[in-house]
Amino acid sequence: YRGLILALGASGCLGGLVLVVADGDSIPAHAFTSEDPAASAKKKLVVLGTGWGGMSFLKELDSRLYDVKIVSPRNYFVFTPLLPSVTNGTVEARSIAEPVRRMISSKGKHIEFYESECIDIDPVNKRLLCRDASHIRTKDHEEFTVDYDYLVVAVGAMANTFGTEGVQEYCHFLKELEDAERIRENVVDCFETACLPHLSDAERKRMLSFVIVGGGPTGVEFAAELYDLVSEDLVKLYPTLRELVTVTVIQSGDHILNSFDQRISAFAEEKFRRDGVSVKTNCRVLKVNQKDVEVKEKTTGKLDNVPFGLAVWSTGIGTRPVLRKFMEKVGQTDRRVLATDEWLRVKGCKDVWAIGDCATTEQRKLLDDIAYLFEKADVDHSGTLNVEEFQTVMEEARGRYPQIDLYLQRQHLQHVADLAKISMYDEKKKEKQLSIEEFKKALSEVDKQMKLYPATAQVAAQQGAYLAKCFNGLLDVDHKPEGPVRIRKEGRHRFQPFRYRHMGQFAPLGTEQCGAELPGDWVSVGRSTQWLWYSVYASKQVSWRTRALVLFDWTKRLFFGRDSSRM
Ligand code: FAD
């Protein structure tokens, strides 16, 4: 193999996508290829999804060893860290999309691709029910089945509304390329509509009010991109509207970017304050109406309505329907994402692996449960966490994962408890209620220490690469049941468990400013960091084609500004 390391970046994260480019003839003969099993004798390996997890897996996989098929409704890969840049036209949508077939063929892989959505997984008969995802569907051929021996689930996640009324109907999400393009169109549309003569002043102001729900990396980056678009380009084209534009970020925690180092979070808040981007922290959205968002201030209980012309919902991830059904079948109904062991094998069934946003290892499970608990407490609008409920989760987690109990509880959750100044284990000291904010703060501290950043491209890509290496060695181990010398000891697993390596993360903040957390707890903010961001993201593109297109888009923007046509 010729290894080509193309790490991955982030509004988000600098990361470790390792794409191994198979170089035709130079691939060394694998132990099995001498036997050259007939195609029919090869195990059927099916991969669901063409995102970070799926494509990183396929890049690293020795496709000659299996009969490989990919099922995904998207026939392209998207470089998601640049999605926010598509919303304001800094980068064109097609510049960050790479066709899956091109990725496969350029690496000389023998893989079949079905542009379809998997709608049901039958783990007993090892069969998938799929539906043609093309826009022109013929009724007779709409659904078909695909058999597998091994299944890798990498279907990612969808936006999570936490059941908040009106979100689906009136908010935009920012998950897919189409979402980004729709937002881009709608922003310009808001400006055009605001120019119409029949609008009242209040209506005009509402049209130019942009609301972002969620102060995480994606929400903040989108707000920053929007601010740049308005202040650098649209004000020149719509000079009379300048004073009417507002950008508001609504965040349920007490800071934006609270998964980042405090210095970056503080820098971002200060920058937004200077730019006039309003940040409403400690606010929960109760309901979204057609023209406004109903918000409750958590500390004072004050209710407020924030009118909007365009609202973007960017808070956490939810489960895809196909996975919900599958989770019922494998006894994981209490979960939001698939539980896997440390070798990424799905619990409760055989020969199924899960990677990326749709999965979580046991180690992360406990923190996920806790995160869910306070989200729930939040949704109940209580503003505080119910300690009894919390104890129940803890008990359950202890029962299910004794090794986690030792690993996490003692080292980290006790630390959370210390930070939150309550004891979760001492009945006598137990207080009735724990402040949710105090707890969140403590938990984010722990998160940082453990570098357990869930749902990032960085994690998905590393998992994909790890799993492919296991698959490349799987048959080898099967041929030698006693295992290689170093792992012959009875009871030991054949492969090393997956270990995540956190490579740092970026937070672009607009007007050529950026925050970055880099390995070694190095924090950097400002203009030079933005240049680092440019170079990292350019180098991390998955092909020379997208790299050239992204560089071209950035240069074009520098000379001609962003394109505000509404197509
Ligand atoms: P995805 O990349 O979402 O891929 C899922 C794939 O499954 C897709 O191809 C989809 O079409 C397919 N699929 C869906 N349903 C089905 C089905 N039923 N059957 C078959 N296939 C299906 N992370 C970072 O590390 N750094 C960043 O800067 C960063 N920025 C981000 C910015 C935005 C706007 C967003 C939305 C995310 C960002 N992330 C970032 C997170 C990162 O994109 C995700 O963590 C990553 O995409 C997860 O990879 P995945 O393979 O699990 O899922």
Task: Identify the structural domains of the chain with CATH numbers, from first to last.
Answer: 2-30+38-159+318-354+455-484 (3.50.50.100), 361-450 (no CATH)
Q: Which atom of ligand 1 is nearest to the CA of 49?
A: 7
CA torsion through residues 329, 330, 332, 337, sign: negative
Averages of pLDDT over each 10 residues, the chain, 567 residues? 33 36 31 42 94 96 93 96 93 95 85 95 96 70 90 94 92 94 94 94 95 94 93 89 93 85 91 94 92 89 93 90 93 80 87 92 59 53 56 59 44 50 42 52 54 74 93 73 47 67 87 87 89 93 95 92 75
Measure 53 CA to ligand 1 centroid, in angstroms. 8
Rg (CA), the chain: 24
**DSSP-derived pairing of the beta strands 150-153 and 67-72:** unpaired
Question: Whose CA is closest to atom 32 on ligand 1?
Answer: 81
From residue 239, give the alpha-carbon distance in Å to each of 204, 236, 243, 319, 448.
14, 5, 9, 44, 44
As a whole number of angstroms, the distance between CA 121 and CA 146 comes to 10
Measure 178 CA to ligand 1 centroid, in angstroms. 13
Report the residue count for the chain: 567
Pocket of ligand 1 (CB under 6 A): 9-13, 15, 48-54, 71-74, 80-81, 83-84, 117-118, 154-156, 174-175, 218, 320, 322, 356-358, 455-458, 460
Q: Which atom of ligand 1 is nearest to the CA of 180?
A: 34
As a whole number of angstroms, the distance between CA 403 and CA 401 comes to 5
Measure 176 CA to ligand 1 centroid, in angstroms. 8
Measure 88 CA to ligand 1 centroid, in angstroms. 20
Q: Helices marked H in 305-406 — which ranges? A: 321-329, 362-379, 387-400, 402-404
- The answer to whether the beta carbons of residues 408 and 363 sit under 8 Å apart is yes
Question: Whose CA is closest to atom 27 on ligand 1?
Answer: 10
pLDDT tens digit sequence for 392-418: 655 665 555 444 444 444 445 555 555
Measure 190 CA to ligand 1 centroid, in angstroms. 28
Q: Which atom of ligand 1 is nearest to the CA of 56?
A: 51
**DSSP-derived pairing of the beta strands 303-307 and 143-147:** unpaired
Measure 51 CA to ligand 1 centroid, in angstroms. 5
Task: Collect all residues with Cβ–Cβ distance below 8 Å to 174 and sequence separation of at least 6.
Answer: 83, 84, 87, 180, 183, 218, 222, 312, 314
Q: How far is CA 483 from the centre of its chain?
A: 36
Q: Which atom of ligand 1 is nearest to the CA of 74?
A: 11
CA atoms within 13 A on the CB side of 135: 1
Measure 457 CA to ligand 1 centroid, in angstroms. 7
Q: Two tokens at 296?
A: 């409750």
ipTM of this predicted complex? Answer: 0.99
- The answer to whether the beta carbons of residues 71 and 114 sit under 8 Å apart is yes
Residue 18: predicted pLDDT: 32
Measure 336 CA to ligand 1 centroid, in angstroms. 16
Measure 329 CA to ligand 1 centroid, in angstroms. 24
Residue 1: predicted pLDDT: 27
Question: Whose CA is closest to atom 13 on ligand 1?
Answer: 155
Measure 172 CA to ligand 1 centroid, in angstroms. 17
Query: N- to C-terminal Cα distance for the chain?
Result: 44
Q: Which atom of ligand 1 is nearest to the CA of 464?
A: 51
Q: What share of the chain is helix, strand, coil (3-state, %, to 5)?
A: 45, 25, 35
Between 527-539 and 544-560, two packed helices, what is the crossing angle to 10 degrees? 140
Measure 110 CA to ligand 1 centroid, in angstroms. 24
Q: Which atom of ligand 1 is nearest to the CA of 77?
A: 9
Measure 233 CA to ligand 1 centroid, in angstroms. 30
- If one residue of 70, 72, 226, 319 were mutated to test the ligand 1 pocket, choosing by the most ligand atoms within 8 A of its CB, it would be 72
The dihedral over CA atoms of 110, 67, 480, 57, expressed in degrees to the nearest 10, equals 60
Output the DSSP codes for 312-341.
EE---EE--HHHHHHHHHTT-TT-SSEEE-
Residue 3: predicted pLDDT: 30
Measure 356 CA to ligand 1 centroid, in angstroms. 8
Q: Which atom of ligand 1 is nearest to the CA of 15?
A: 25
Question: Whose CA is closest to atom 49 on ligand 1?
Answer: 52
- The answer to whether the beta carbons of residues 326 and 121 sit under 8 Å apart is yes
- The answer to whether the beta carbons of residues 302 and 286 sit under 8 Å apart is no
Question: Whose CA is closest to atom 6 on ligand 1?
Answer: 49
Question: Whose CA is closest to atom 37 on ligand 1?
Answer: 80
> Exposure of 429 by Cβ count < 10 A (0-12 exposed, 13-18 middle, 19+ buried)?
exposed
Q: Two tokens at 356?
A: 């990326």
Is the overall model pTM greater than 0.95, yes or no? no
As a whole number of angstroms, the distance between CA 512 and CA 224 comes to 10
SS3 of 434-453: EEHHHHHHHHHHHHHHHCCC
- Report the alpha-carbon angle 517-318-356, nearest 5: 55
Nearest to 152 by CA among 22, 56, 34, 269: 56
Residue 131 backbone phi and psi in degrees, to 5: -130, 135
Question: Whose CA is closest to atom 20 on ligand 1?
Answer: 72
